[in-house]
Amino acid sequence: MNSDWGETRLLVLALLGLTALSAVVLAEVLYTVVFAITVAYTLFPFRQLLVDRGHSRRVATAAVTGVAGLVMVGAVVPVAYVLYRRRSTLLDLARTLPDTIPIAVGEFSYVIRTTP
């Protein structure tokens, strides 16, 4: 039997423990990382298309990132504009909300408080 087996097991357990601790501490960051990986995986074929057409990887990455940013701005700005134009209606709606909104599903119940 290898004499380093005990040390190896201790290192593996320490690695697993630190990984679990990191996941708990950085749970919110993990959601952001997963979203970023999803976006990168989605945009990679477009970047690769530009690289295959002779552009450098850096230029292709900058172009794809810029276009993706413009698409996001193009999607958010109209919604923000409509919400801004209808702000009085939204404020009137918020004023008519009751102080609490009870939600009950089967035996589970939860109360959402709408007052500060």
pLDDT at 81: 96
Give the structural domain span for 38.
Answer: 5-113
Crossing angle for the helix pair 5-25 and 27-52, to the nearest 10 degrees: 90
Residue-by-residue pLDDT tens, the chain, 116 positions: 556 777 888 999 999 999 999 888 888 787 888 889 999 999 999 999 999 999 999 999 999 999 999 999 999 999 999 999 999 999 998 888 888 888 988 888 888 888 77
pLDDT at 43: 94
| Token pair in block for residue 103 | 């939600």
pTM of the model: 0.56
Provide the number of structural domains found in the chain: 1
Instruction: Indicate the SS3 state at residue 2.
Output: coil
